[in-house]
């Protein structure tokens, strides 16, 4: 058995970024992936904060060549009210655009580029057991499609297995999320009524009913991802299968009906539920967790791939330093750092569902500087402590909503 430096579990964005960074540092790395690629996964709208990671991991050229839809901002709509955030008008310094991607193609692009650099990637190879040794190395058992097994010895493991949550499941580290469980139904549709002025380069979140919203993510091919998110109670009260729910949702909103009422569905609507999850610890003896395995909050604000890439970028650089004999402070430089970003988005997710952001987004006279600061959060710049809407995320949002309340009441007098 040849011992490698790093075993990466999973070939999603988190796994590809990890493998690229480890390889770039001259260490040996191997990726094992349960599925055959391309494979479908949801999570199609990226955030500008991903771009610096994709650049450092040297993926930009490969992704640019795919001509995915460029994304310049995010729009929130409720009936006739629209709140538009343009990433080029934001507070933090950084990327002002990103992409909206069909994930099967995007994930395949990244992992193919990793293979091109000489990293071995085993598809249809599932991790079934891991034994950690006293020196932090490990022996991982993988099962291949034909039922045969292999043992892989590695000095360190990066678990980037997404919803598979390999290490938390094998070692009972899973912890329930503090967010309410939600469901989604979604499909790709032929977006023949798209307005070609700005609609393709924005994600649109439509506030559908209290706690219920819809995403519209246009792709460069003319196809658009359309999804609906809501509570279990709402979906249960609707009854029916995902296709009939999808149809009912479209028909129940004037904007959605006019844009999507008569369009062809590229595939029958699918459902997903109860995706929020977290774990007790983001690292341990011989391993680090990255991407969705650490914590996934909610689809609103499209933070999933941003966290997947940023966490993998930091974790892999720390693994490299550790394997080169340096001391690393996992608690401070990894767990606390990632948690701070996740907690900022958690505040915004909760403020979305409790109506605070509705008040802010649709206020009559938004302060341009505050809008820029909130825009930076929506672009994924959730570590910029000079932004008051990051540093004191919960307090700033609450105070702003109160101010808007008071000024609207005064206006009404
Ligand atoms: P994944 O992309 O899930 O990759 C993990 C890989 O690990 C998979 O390919 C899997 O096959 C493999 N694996 C699993 N178990 C094993 C095993 N035992 N052995 C080997 N391999 C294994 N994010 C956004 O950024 N934008 C969005 O618009 C967005 N919308 C979303 C909408 C919904 C309804 C939901 C639920 C999520 C959404 N997300 C979105 C989140 C996004 O899906 C994830 O955050 C993102 O895919 C995480 O990437 P990852 O690399 O961590 O994991």
DSSP string for residues in 50-102 = HHHHHHHTT-HHHHHTTTPEEE-EEEEEETTEEEEEETTS-SSSS---EEE--
What is the 43 CA–ligand 1 centroid distance (Å)?
Answer: 7
Looking at residue 199, its pLDDT comes to: 83
Q: What is the pLDDT of residues 206-257, one digit of tens each?
A: 999 999 999 999 999 999 999 999 999 999 999 999 999 999 999 999 999 9
Q: Left (φ > 0), alpha (ψ -120 to 50) or beta: where does 43 sit?
A: left
Candidates 135, 403, 182, 386; CA nearest to 277 is 182
Distance 66 CA to ligand 1 centre (A): 20
Kindly report the average pLDDT of the chain as a whole number: 96
Any idea which residue has 């580029």 for tokens?
113
- More confident position, 277 or 334: 334
Residue 198 in this model has a pLDDT that exceeds 80: no
How far, in Å, CA of 199 to CA of 74, rounded? 10
Q: Tokens in use for 212?
A: 């219920």
> Which among 19, 35, 42 is the best mutation to test ligand 1's pocket, defined by most ligand atoms within 8 Å of the CB?
42
Residue that is written with structure tokens 């022996």 in the block: 139
Contact 193, 259 (CB under 8 A): yes
Does the beta carbon of 291 sit less than 6 angstroms from any atom of ligand 1?
A: yes
Residue 296 CB less than 6 A away from ligand 1? yes
Retrieve residue 289's tokens. Answer: 């967790």
Measure the CA–CA gap between 87 and 45, rounded to whole angstroms.
Answer: 14
pLDDT band at 318 (very low <50, low <70, confident <90, very high): very high
Which of the 8 DSSP states describes residue 389? Answer: H
- Rounded to the nearest angstrom, the distance between the alpha carbon of 291 and the centre of ligand 1 is 8
Q: What is the CA(236)–ligand 1 centre distance, in A? A: 25
Tell the residue number behind the tokens 């907690």, with chain if given. 343
- How far apart (Å, rounded) are the C-alpha atoms in residues 13 and 93? 24
400 pLDDT higher than 90: yes
41: CA distance to ligand 1 center in Å? Answer: 6
Measure the CA–CA gap between 90 and 8, rounded to whole angstroms.
35
Look at residues 48, 43, 55 and name the one whose alpha carbon lies nearest to residue 162. Answer: 43
- Assess contact for 6 and 290: CB atoms under 8 A: no
What mean pLDDT is predicted for residues 396-403? Answer: 96
Residue indicated by tokens 């590809």: 16
C-alpha 293 to ligand 1 mean position (Å): 9
Cα atoms in the Cβ-side hemisphere of radius 13 Å centred on 243: 5
Q: Helix 49-56 vs helix 304-323: angle between axes, to the nearest 10 degrees?
A: 40
Q: Do β-strands 270-273 and 121-122 pair in parallel, antiparallel, or remain unpaired?
A: unpaired
**DSSP notation for 280-306:** S-SEETTEEE-GGGTEE--STT--HHH
Length of the chain measured in residues: 413
pLDDT in tens, 152-193: 999 999 999 999 999 999 999 988 888 889 999 999 999 999
Average pLDDT rounded to a whole number, residues 1-25: 96
Walk me through the domains of the chain, giving residue ranges and CATH numbers: 3-72+96-176+276-342 (3.50.50.60), 182-273 (3.30.9.100)
Cα 23 to middle of ligand 1, angstroms: 22
Ligand 1 site, residue 380, Cβ cutoff 6 A: no
Centroid of ligand 1 to alpha carbon of 160 (angstroms): 9
Under the banding of pLDDT at 50, 70 and 90, the label for residue 203 is: very high
C-beta 275 within 6 A of ligand 1: yes
Among 161, 212, 275, which is best to mutate for testing ligand 1, by the most ligand atoms less than 8 A from CB? 161
Write down the pLDDT at residue 142: 98
More confident residue, 76 or 274: 76
CB 27, CB 6: distance < 8 Å: yes
CA-292 nearest atom, ligand 1: 52
> How confident is the model at residue 111, as a pLDDT?
98
pLDDT tens-digit series, residues 128-157: 999 999 999 999 999 999 999 999 999 999
**Residues in Cβ contact with 405 at an 8 Å cutoff, skipping those fewer than 6 apart:** 359
Q: How many CB atoms lie within 10 A of CB 406?
A: 10
What pLDDT is attached to residue 195? 85
**Radius of gyration of the chain from Cα atoms?**
22
For ligand 1, is residue 299 a contact (CB within 6 Å)? yes
Q: Say how many C-beta atoms besides its own lie within 10 A of residue 57's C-beta.
A: 24
pLDDT at position 370 is 97
pLDDT at 222 (0 to 100) = 96
Residue 156 in contact with ligand 1 by CB distance below 6 A:
no
What distance in angstroms lies between residue 290's CA and the mean position of ligand 1's atoms? 11
What is the C-alpha separation between 98 and 399, in angstroms, rounded? Answer: 31
Best substitution site from 98, 105, 303, 305 to test ligand 1's pocket, by max atoms within 8 Å of Cβ?
305
Which pLDDT belongs to residue 329? 98
Query: With a 6 A CB cut-off, is 86 part of the ligand 1 pocket?
Result: no
DSSP assignment, residue 137? -
Closest atom of ligand 1 to CA, residue 35: 11
User: What span, in angstroms and rounded, lies between the C-alpha atoms of 197 and 199?
Assistant: 6
Please report the atom of ligand 1 found closest to the CA of residue 14: 51
| Angle ∠(202,204,205) on CA atoms, nearest 5 | 150
Distance from C-alpha of 207 to C-alpha of 185, rounded to nearest angstrom: 15
Across the range 375-398, mean pLDDT stands at 98
- Rounded Cα–Cα distance for residues 19 and 413 (Å): 61
Which is it for the CA torsion 8, 11, 14, 16, positive or negative?
positive
* Tokens (6 digits) for 286: 């011989």
Q: What is the mean pLDDT of residues 383-411?
A: 95
Please give the structure tokens belonging to residue 404. Answer: 């808007």
Residue nearest to atom 6 of ligand 1 (CA): 10
Please tell me if the CB atom of residue 13 comes closer than 6 angstroms to any atom of ligand 1. yes
Query: Which pLDDT belongs to residue 275?
Result: 81
Q: What's the confidence (pLDDT) of residue 274?
A: 85
Distance CA 267, CA 102 (A): 13
**Mean pLDDT, range 34-63, rounded to an integer:** 98
Q: What is the pLDDT of residues 273-309, one digit of tens each?
A: 988 788 888 999 999 999 999 988 899 999 999 999 9
């Amino acid at each position: 058995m040849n011992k490698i430096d790093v075993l990466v579990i999973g070939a999603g964005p988190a796994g590809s970024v990890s493998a690229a960074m480890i390889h770039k540092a001259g260490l040996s790395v191997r990726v094992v992936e349960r599925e055959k690629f391309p494979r479908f996964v949801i999570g199609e709208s990226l955030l500008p904060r991903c771009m610096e990671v994709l650049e450092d991991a040297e993926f930009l050229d490969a992704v640019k060549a795919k001509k995915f839809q460029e994304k310049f901002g995010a729009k929130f709509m409720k009936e006739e009210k629209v709140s538009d955030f343009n990433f080029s008008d934001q507070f933090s310094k950084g990327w002002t655009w990103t992409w909206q991607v069909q994930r099967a193609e995007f994930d395949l692009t990244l992992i193919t580029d990793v293979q091109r650099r000489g990293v071995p990637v085993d598809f249809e190879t599932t991790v079934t057991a891991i034994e950690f040794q006293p020196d932090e190395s490990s022996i991982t058992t993988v099962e291949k499609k034909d039922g045969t097994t292999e043992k892989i010895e590695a000095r360190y493991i990066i678990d980037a297995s997404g919803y598979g949550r390999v290490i938390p499941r094998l070692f009972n580290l899973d912890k329930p999320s503090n967010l309410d469980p939600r469901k989604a139904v979604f499909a790709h549709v032929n977006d023949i009524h798209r307005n070609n002025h700005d609609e393709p380069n924005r994600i649109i979140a439509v506030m559908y009913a209290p706690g219920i919203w819809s995403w519209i993510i246009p792709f460069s091919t003319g196809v658009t991802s359309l999804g609906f998110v809501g509570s279990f109670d709402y979906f249960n009260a609707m009854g029916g299968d995902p296709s009939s729910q999808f149809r009912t949702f479209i028909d129940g909103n004037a904007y959605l009906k006019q844009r999507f009422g008569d369009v062809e569905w590229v595939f029958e609507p699918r459902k997903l539920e109860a995706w929020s999850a977290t774990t007790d610890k983001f690292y341990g003896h011989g391993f680090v967790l990255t991407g969705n395995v650490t914590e996934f909050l909610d689809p609103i604000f499209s933070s999933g791939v941003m966290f997947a890439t940023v966490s993998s970028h930091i974790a892999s650089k720390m693994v490299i330093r550790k394997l080169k004999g340096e001391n690393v402070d996992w608690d401070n430089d990894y767990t606390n750092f990632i948690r701070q970003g996740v907690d900022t988005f958690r505040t915004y997710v909760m403020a979305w569902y409790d109506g605070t952001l509705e008040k802010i987004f649709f206020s009559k006279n938004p302060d341009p500087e505050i809008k820029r600061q909130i825009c930076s959060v929506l672009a994924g710049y959730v570590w910029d402590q000079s932004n008051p809407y990051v540093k004191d995320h919960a307090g700033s949002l609450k105070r702003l909503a109160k101010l808007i309340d008071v000024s609207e009441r005064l206006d009404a007098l």
